[in-house]
Chain A
Amino acid sequence: MANNTAQLQEKTHPMEDLLRMDRMPHIWCSGCGLGSAVTAFVEGLKKAGVSYDKTAIVSGIGCTGRVAGYVRLDSYHTTHGRAIPFATGLKLANRDLTVFVFSGDGDLFAIGGNHLIHAARRNVDINVICVNNFIYGMTGGQNAPTTPLGAYSSTAPFGNYEMPFNLVGIAAASGASYVARWTTMHARRLTDSIATAANKKGFCFIEIVSPCATVFARKNGGGTGLDLLKEFQTRSIIDHEADPTQIPLTMDNEIVCGEFVNEDSPTFWENVQAGIKSQLEKFSNWEEMQSNSRKIPHKTIRKYTSSRDS
């Protein structure tokens, strides 16, 4: 058998075209769910059929923030908490890009919390994937705004006294067009959700509940990443009809998963266009203005090159 495996190693992993193999192995711990989340992301992109040269990924700082550096797309590793403002600019300046933000719960809901609610409120056409491991993984397990009541962390040695955020509830209440929650164990459904988000306009938010083996598991009863995954499996139920604001995560309740919101409302850019149109129409004919503006060669055609080409 050993010989058999050795011989089979010559074939390459089917995801290698979308991963930066020169950076592997990644830094994530054994039993961390982040790698599974990346697989779902890559498979989701393949399924969505989007052009890789027209897809960008933006991350903040943290263990999850490393994702941008491992995916072979145009990727941006921004400062802590600022992935969404960066992605907003990227999308508005380059509207034919599909823009993904891939970052952690601390990055997107603590230091970057306001950016998230306002991007959702404006319905900016970006897709935000938030890996919720209930903790600040990278910096050593401090309390995050997602740490469940009573859970232990480096900064809550006697158990956490703070009420956590319900991420899907916030995204939905702020006006997101698409809201879903899965765990890393729901590999196929998560992949489908990512594919849906890639092709959907408006602000899409996907929460991925993921095991942090090294800090969250260690501080909360020990166990490995596998133990946490099994626990998610027993605790999770799928209910697409659930009200996202009524399904917070605690240490032992059900993890309600599903696609809770999927609606179409005007995006920020569409509202900008409609607003400008209504103002300018007072002075002249909008259709004429549009056709005139197309005659001005204001944009030279740029050639996009990617690392894949070299």
Chain B
Amino acid sequence: MRFWEKPFGKEKPKTICGEIHIINDRCKGCSFCIEYCPRDVLELSKDFNKKGYHPPIVAKPDMCTFCGLCEMICPDFAIFVTEKEE
């Protein structure tokens, strides 16, 4: 590995960030996504959705690493992530 080359001016390693999409009215407020997000990005909203459940809200958007766990665990297809374009 020639890691000593180009000490300056080397581009910063790209950090992958996710953008969270919540389909509020489809959510049934089970909190699975909030509990299993490894970065504690999500929080329970104080507001109700159309069905009377509390959907999640994105509390720390910058912490999301686009791991996709919230999307995989959500039983109601109500949350998904896309890669954030920098």
Chain A residues with CB under 8 Å of chain B are: 1-2, 4-6, 8-9, 11, 13-16, 19, 24-26, 28-36, 38-40, 43, 184-185, 187-188, 191, 213, 224-226, 229-230
A4 contact set on B, CB distance < 8 A: 58, 61
Chain B residues with CB under 8 Å of chain A are: 19-24, 26, 28-32, 35-36, 47, 51, 53, 57-59, 61, 69, 71-78, 80, 82
Task: Report A131 CB to chain B, min CB distance, Å.
Answer: 12
The reply to whether B75 and A36 form a contact with Cβ atoms under 8 Å apart is yes
The reply to whether A34 and B24 form a contact with Cβ atoms under 8 Å apart is no
> Which secondary structure characterizes the binding site on chain B?
mixed
Number of A-B contacts (CB under 8 A): 93
Name the residue of chain B whose CB is nearest to the CB of A33. B75
Name the residue of chain A whose CB is nearest to the CB of B57. A1
The reply to whether A39 and B77 form a contact with Cβ atoms under 8 Å apart is yes
The distance in angstroms between the C-alpha atoms of A244 and B23, with both chains bound, is 40
The distance in angstroms between the C-alpha atoms of A185 and B78, with both chains bound, is 17
Max chain A C-beta neighbours (<10 A), residue from B19, B21, B74: B21
Given contacts A5-B57, A11-B21, contact A36 B69 (CB under 8 A): no
The distance in angstroms between the C-alpha atoms of A27 and B52, with both chains bound, is 16
The one of A30, A184, A188 in contact with B29, judged by C-beta atoms closer than 8 angstroms, is A30
The reply to whether B26 and A25 form a contact with Cβ atoms under 8 Å apart is yes
Max chain A C-beta neighbours (<10 A), residue from B24, B57, B75: B75
